[in-house]
Amino acid sequence: MNDRSADKSRRALLKGIATIPVVAIAGFHSTGHAAMLSVDDPTAKALAYTEKSAEAGKSCSNCNLFSGASGAASGPCAIFPGKEVAATGWCRSWVAKP
């Protein structure tokens, strides 16, 4: 390998290395929040999901299937993957946190 081809190889390698983090960051970019569950979602309807609980002492925020942060307005629910439910919501699958 002469100096000229070694330089080309080195440049190609450096270009490749410089590209990896950008691709990695773009590939793992997240919008931060999942879409909110619609009350018109067929499963939500079947479970009588509402964004404002009418059940005394029962809401998504104190349901065992809710995994949102404490005090958050919404968060993930095990019943509705990829969606967020309102912390003030409720559905027939409500289960008390232990």
Question: Taking contact as CB under 6 A, which single stretch among the options 8-16, 19-27, 28-36, 87-95 is the one that binds ligand SF4?
Answer: 87-95
Classify residue 86 by its DSSP letter: E
DSSP result, 15-61: HHHHHHHHHHHHHT---SSPEEPPTTSHHHHHTT-BSS--STT--GG
Which of 34, 51, 88, 93 binds ligand SF4 (CB under 6 A)? It is 93
Which of 20, 34, 49, 82 binds ligand SF4 (CB under 6 A)? It is 49
User: Which residues would be at the binding site for ligand SF4 (CB under 6 A)?
Assistant: 49, 60, 63, 65-66, 77, 79, 85, 89-91, 93-94
